[in-house]
Amino acid sequence: MITRIREVRRAKGLTLDDVARRCDPPTTAQTIGRLETGTRTVSVKWLNRIAEALGVNASDLVDLPGKEHIAVAAYMGAEGAYAPARPSHFVAPMMEGDMIGLRITSSIGDYRAGDEIWCRRIGPDDFSSALNRDVLFPRPGGRFLFGRLIGRETGSDSDGGRVQILPLTPGARQQILSDPPWAAVATRLIRAL
């Protein structure tokens, strides 16, 4: 079996030690290195442990016949574009939990017309984790509000609190929503060039 552990690890910007510490239970960087290079056999159990540590599906770590890839032709750094030393492929975008989409129809803020934004739904208890991120909130009557979550006030037990959102329109004033049932945090931007 040919694995893509090293490729996925590098695409995520992680070291061998990072992955080893993220494994449950933790392991050593040397073990992860051996699994990447094939000097140690990768069992299904190891594949699942490493996939969880990398935040991907186990199937993304296996190079299967007929699986589509986007080959990396070059890397771009401060010194310019250069060819990779070894063959490399992009890791396909992964679904993360309960995802919903947002399509941009006209340019606003950092987003361009035609952009697709993938958002991960969260509940009111997780709103604090989305501070200073772009978030989609539902509003009454089938409307929505999308902008930067800049504050959260927790209320009494009978009410979930209020959130302050800064719309992306230049010069817009902050909007306050009371007790939104959920939010969706922007996690991926898909942009056609």
Domain boundary assignment for the chain = 5-82, 99-190
Query: Per-residue pLDDT for 73 more than 60?
Result: yes
Q: Are 179 and 127 spatial neighbours (Cβ–Cβ below 8 Å)?
A: no
pLDDT value at 11 more than 80: no
Banded pLDDT at 192 (limits 50, 70, 90)? confident
Burial 119-138 (b: 16+ CB within 10 A, else e): bbebebeebeebeeebbbbe
Top-level class of domain 99-190: mainly beta
- Per-residue pLDDT band for 22 (boundaries 50, 70, 90) equals very high
Nearest C-alpha neighbor of 9 from the set 89, 125, 99:
89
Q: Is 2.40.160.20 the CATH classification of the domain at 5-82?
A: no
Return the pLDDT at 158: 42
If you average pLDDT over residues 51-69, what whole number do you get? 76
H/E element holding 50?
helix 44-54
pLDDT of residue 69: 61
Q: 23-27, 76-80, 128-132, 166-170: which range is least confident on average?
A: 76-80
pLDDT band at 1 (very low <50, low <70, confident <90, very high): low
Kindly report the average pLDDT of the chain as a whole number.
Answer: 83
Measured CA to CA, the distance from residue 120 to residue 95 in angstroms comes to 9
DSSP state of 133: S
